[in-house]
Each structure stands twice: as C-alpha cells, then as structure tokens.
Amino acid sequence: MEIKITFFINLLLYVLVVSQSLFYILALSYASKTMQAGTYIESRKLIDAKLRNNLTLVYYLALASSIALTSVTIVNPSGALFMCSLVALGALILDIAMALHGNIPLNHQISNWDENAYPENWKHIRTKWFRYYSTRQVANITGFITLIAGYIFGT
C-alpha cells in the first residue's frame, strides 16, 4: 500500500511538471517564437513572475516524491517499477539542472530588459532559452512516460 500511495503522489506531482511542457508544445512555443520583441519580453516577464514560486514548489515536491518512490521500490531492485522510478527521478533531476543552469539565468536576464529597449541579439537569447527548454521537455516527458510504464508493467 505504501508504494501505491507514494506512486500516486509522485504521479500527481509529475503531471504538474509535465503539463507545462505539453502546454508549450501545444501552443505557447509557436506563439512565443512568432512574437515581436516587446510582446515576447512582456509575456516572459508575466509568465516567469507567475510560475516562479508555484513551479518551484511543485518541482521540489515532485523531486521529494520521486526520491521517496525510488526508495520504497528499491525492495525489488530488478523490478520494472524500481527501474522506471529511477529513470523518472534521473529525468526530473536533468530537468531541474537544465532549468537552474539554463532557463532560470536567461529568465533573469530577460526580466531586466525593457520592452522598448532590448539587446539586438534578443532572438538569439530566445532561441537559446528554447533550446534549454526543449531538452527539459524531452527529459520530463520521458520521465513521465517511464513512470507510467513502470506502474503498468511493474505491478
């Protein structure tokens, strides 16, 4: 029962993490890449301000629950659920590392821009932001799918 409860909590938190990626894939990525500089800067500032605190908490809780799930499933180290929880944990750690070393510093940089006075290379910085984020999307979607597969095939 402990594994099921831990898995359920981890899955709920992982859904919150991966939902951001899916929203970007479905709509926001294309929209952001076609925005003019002022609109892009203003939208990044608004999105970052709203997500910064909420998403930070979600990521920390997801990380804690992933560690907990991996810890309780280690009783069967050759089992599918343990292996998949380990992959999902690794994917989440990669996502967080890429955010801390890529997207978050770029978010801080963009937040200091003025909508009417911005660097000439703003498109390059936007492209760099999306490159980091694309890697994070692959990581967290892979982790999420692996987590579900672990539950289906590991129990």
Three-state SS for 89-112 is HHHHHHHHHHHHHHHHHHHHHHHC
Whole-number pLDDT of residue 153: 87
Q: Inform me whether the pLDDT recorded for 77 exceeds 80.
A: yes
Q: In whole angstroms, what separates CA 150 from the centre of its chain?
A: 20
Give the residue from 42, 33, 10, 54 showing the smallest Cα distance to 143: 10
Would you say 153 and 80 are in contact if contact means Cβ atoms under 8 Å apart? yes
Q: Inform me whether the pLDDT recorded for 155 exceeds 80.
A: no
Percentage with pLDDT > 70 across the chain: 99
Scored b (16 or more CB within 10 A) or e, 47-74 reads: ebeeeeeebeebbebbbebbbbbbebbe
Average pLDDT estimate for 83-88 = 96
Q: Inform me whether the pLDDT recorded for 5 exceeds 90.
A: yes
Percentage with pLDDT > 90 across the chain: 77
Q: Inform me whether the pLDDT recorded for 51 exceeds 90.
A: no
Q: Inform me whether the pLDDT recorded for 145 exceeds 80.
A: yes
Whole-number pLDDT of residue 11: 95
pTM over 0.85: yes
